[in-house]
């Protein structure tokens, strides 16, 4: 049913991934303060805070991150409406969990390492940078809810 707890968790995952896509000016994912460059990293772009200087990264550098976030949002929304077919819903949630794991690994081990290597400075994380871990947590809770419902329905079928 659509009013189950897993729907709430899937909706929270979709909302969290959408919030990560919104480029709040005052809340970047991380900051890099170096001698040659001072950067704010958002999920859609990298902002150079030194006036008149171009960003050391291409405009297309953050597109894979944004594409993964959009895909995670759509998969969460699609999984909400697959409540009548629990096995398909669990499959979509598993795929979404896998994509979120790739997002977390790509962000923390890919993007951050590239930024630190290029600038030579340690990145300063903000609270927004841990939203992918929160998305993963919500998706795991949603999967557990669907699995619990499936187990309940199968036990009811055995009683008949």
Residue 43 predicted with pLDDT over 90 = no
Q: How far is CA 34 from CA 40, 68, 147, 152, in A?
A: 11, 29, 48, 56
Domain ranges of the chain: 5-159
With cut-offs at 50, 70 and 90, classify the pLDDT of residue 39: confident
Least confident of 35-44, 70-79, 133-142: 35-44
Q: What is the pLDDT of residue 127?
A: 86
Domain 5-159 class? mainly alpha
| pTM, full prediction | 0.87
Question: For residues 76 and 96, what is the distance between their CA atoms, to the nearest angstrom?
Answer: 7
Q: What is the pLDDT of residue 89?
A: 92
Q: Residue range 83-112: average pLDDT? A: 92
Mean pLDDT over each residue of the chain, to the nearest integer? 86
């Amino acid at each position: 049913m659509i009013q189950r707890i897993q729907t709430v968790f899937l909706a929270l995952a979709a909302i969290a991934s959408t919030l990560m896509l919104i480029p709040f000016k005052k809340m970047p994912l991380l900051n890099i303060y170096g001698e040659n460059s001072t950067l704010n990293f958002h999920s859609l772009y990298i902002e150079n805070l030194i006036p008149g200087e171009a960003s050391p990264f291409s405009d297309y550098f953050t597109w894979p991150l944004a594409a993964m976030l959009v895909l995670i949002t759509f998969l969460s929304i699609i999984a909400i409406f697959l409540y009548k077919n629990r096995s398909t819903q669990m499959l979509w949630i598993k795929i979404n969990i896998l994509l979120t794991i790739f997002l977390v690994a790509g962000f923390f081990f890919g993007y951050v390492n590239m930024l630190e290597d290029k600038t030579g400075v340690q990145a300063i994380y903000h609270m927004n940078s841990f939203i992918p871990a929160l998305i993963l947590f919500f998706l795991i809770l949603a999967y557990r809810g669907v699995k619990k419902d499936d187990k309940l329905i199968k036990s009811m079928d055995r009683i008949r």
